């Protein structure tokens, strides 16, 4: 018979205090992990409940990440179509600003993807051609 006197080997799942992360390295790692989790959970929720969702996230470095179900573009298009259909008209200035920010974010994301693919090609590229 085992007794309750045996010590636990792990601390289990602890509650983490919500506070700003001071270390830039730890901040970036946490942001990356939580961003992936946010996108995954939002996609799961949208798929289970059969609705569209678009998320744009900007890191401290200014890099834009986007995710959407089925896609961010289709969600925004559906939003604009529904707004026209139901005569819903928020401030046009707000809509214009949101559109401009979205398209700028998409452009930065495409630029970032191009830079990453170029860097990958260079790092794995043909070393014998020089």
Q: Is residue 89 part of a domain?
A: yes
Q: Is residue 86 part of a domain?
A: yes
Q: What is the pLDDT of residues 3-47, one digit of tens each?
A: 555 677 787 888 878 888 889 889 888 888 899 899 999 989 988
- 44's tokens: 């799961």
Confidence (pTM): 0.49
Q: Is residue 61 part of a domain?
A: yes
Q: Is residue 9 part of a domain?
A: no
The residue that leads in pLDDT, 11 or 53, is 53
Q: Is residue 98 part of a domain?
A: yes
Q: Look up tokens 């170029």; give the residue.
A: 118
SS3 content of the chain, % helix, strand, coil (to 5): 55, 10, 35
Number of domains in the chain: 1
> Residue 38: what pLDDT?
92
The pLDDT of residue 125 is above 70: no
Number of Cβ within a 10 Å radius of residue 33: 10
Q: What is the DSSP string of 18-47?
A: ------HHHHHHHHHHHHHHHHHHHHHHHH
Of the candidates 38, 58, 36, the one whose C-alpha atom is nearest the C-alpha of residue 104 is 58
Boundaries of domain holding 58: 53-123
Q: Is residue 29 part of a domain?
A: no
Q: What is the pLDDT of residues 58-113, one digit of tens each?
A: 887 788 888 888 888 888 788 778 766 666 556 667 778 888 888 888 888 888 88
Q: Is residue 68 part of a domain?
A: yes
Q: Is residue 34 part of a domain?
A: no
pLDDT category at 126 given cuts 50, 70, 90 is: low
The pLDDT of residue 130 is above 50: no
* Burial class of residue 42 (count of CB atoms within 10 Å of its CB; 0-12, 13-18, 19+): middle
């Amino acid at each position: 018979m085992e007794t309750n006197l045996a010590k636990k080997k792990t601390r289990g799942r602890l509650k983490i205090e919500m506070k700003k992360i001071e270390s830039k390295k730890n901040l970036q790692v946490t942001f990356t992990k939580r961003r992936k989790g946010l996108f995954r959970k939002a996609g799961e929720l949208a798929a289970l409940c059969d609705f569209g969702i678009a998320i744009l996230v900007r890191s401290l470095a200014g890099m834009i990440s986007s995710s959407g179900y089925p896609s961010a573009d289709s969600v925004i298009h559906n939003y604009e179509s529904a707004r026209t259909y139901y005569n819903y008209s928020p401030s046009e200035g707000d809509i214009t600003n949101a559109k401009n920010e979205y398209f700028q974010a998409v452009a930065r994301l495409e630029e970032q993807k191009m830079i990453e693919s170029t860097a990958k090609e260079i790092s794995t590229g043909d070393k014998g051609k020089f």
